Amino acid sequence: MVDIFLKTLPFFAIIALGYGAGRTRFFPEEATAWLTRFVFYFALSAMLFRFSANLSLREVFDLPFVLAYLCGTGAVYLLATAVALIRKRGIEEAAVEAQCAVIGNVGFLGVPMLVLLMGEQAIGPVMLVLAVDLVVFGSLIVILITGARDGRMSLGILRTVGLGLLRNPMIVSISLGLAWSAAKLPIPVPLNEFVSILGAAATPGALFAIGASLASKSAERMAVAGWLTGAKLVLHPVAVAVAALMLFPVDRYAASVMIAAAALPVAGNVYILAQHYGVAPHRVSASILISTALSVFTVSLVIALVG
């Protein structure tokens, strides 16, 4: 446990460094926005392309893995939705709270950290978790909020969802990498060095951006944020563990990576969606802040247990 904690500590130390820079205004919000854009569209995309170009779709896609993750995540999603509806928060707020309960920071934190801590073979399972989060649950929140506002489901909603997926650089880079791999094309040395150098900026850039963005987050609505943090850091990995280890025939190593990914703190893109739709942004902000702070200890514990 102590060894794992010491290995995860540098990652969270860079987050803390970014937080300090943002909190003191040495790194203002505008700078954070531009750094996040660089990481999201360039560095992380290069890293994901390089990873996926060296894998085959057969190595990445695993139906029992997907079903187990969907089952465990779906259970927590439904529970968070039910709790919100019992509190009479409405469909829109319920969708946002459910997103907080199940969507972890897999792209910015999980990909670099879990691959380093759990080995290169973690790349496939981590990217599969990321893809399911983006395609299934990233689409679901848009469908629920838009449908609740329009009073009905329409083809326009599906068009919005489809265009959103096509414009997501993480989806695009993974798809291009897998297509390159499927074509069995060798990666030219200059291209490989280009994506390696650019991708190397993803880990420190993403972690620093996470910390700097947290500096502008508020810790309001503590009771609800505490519940959502508990759901994300505790209930989500437990539910996924039950599904992967007891309900579906998932490979033990892949299951351990899935559980570790489920233990990650609330993702920053949930706040972007909440702010975009004007639905409970302060609640999401507090959930991200609290879950990230506590995950310094909980993520280390989960990785130690599954390892």
Phi, psi for residue 104 in degrees, rounded to 5 = -95, 170
Distances (CA, A) of 42 to 35, 36, 154, 197: 10, 10, 34, 11
Tokens in use for 76?
């927590």
pLDDT tens for each residue of 151-189? 665 666 677 777 777 778 888 898 898 889 888 888 889
Output the pLDDT for position 253.
Answer: 95
- Rounded CA-CA distance 228/267 in Å is 12
Phi, psi for residue 266 in degrees, rounded to 5 = -55, 135
- Rounded CA-CA distance 161/293 in Å is 32
Instruction: For 80-130, give the DSSP string.
Output: HHHHHHHTT-HHHHHHHHHHHHH-B-IIIIIHHHHHHHH-GGGHHHHHHHH
Report pTM.
0.86
- Rounded CA-CA distance 36/91 in Å is 30
Nearest to 101 by CA among 140, 67, 74: 74
pLDDT tens for each residue of 123-153? 999 999 999 998 899 888 888 888 777 666 5
Angle at 255 between CA 106 and CA 227, to 5 degrees: 55
- Rounded CA-CA distance 213/21 in Å is 10
- Rounded CA-CA distance 170/283 in Å is 26
Max mean pLDDT range (22-26, 41-45, 255-259): 255-259
- Rounded CA-CA distance 51/127 in Å is 9
What lies within 8 Å, CB to CB, of 88 at 6+ separation is none
Mean pLDDT taken over the chain: 89
Give all domains of the chain, ordered by start, each with its CATH number: 2-306 (1.20.1530.20)
Tokens in use for 79?
């529970």
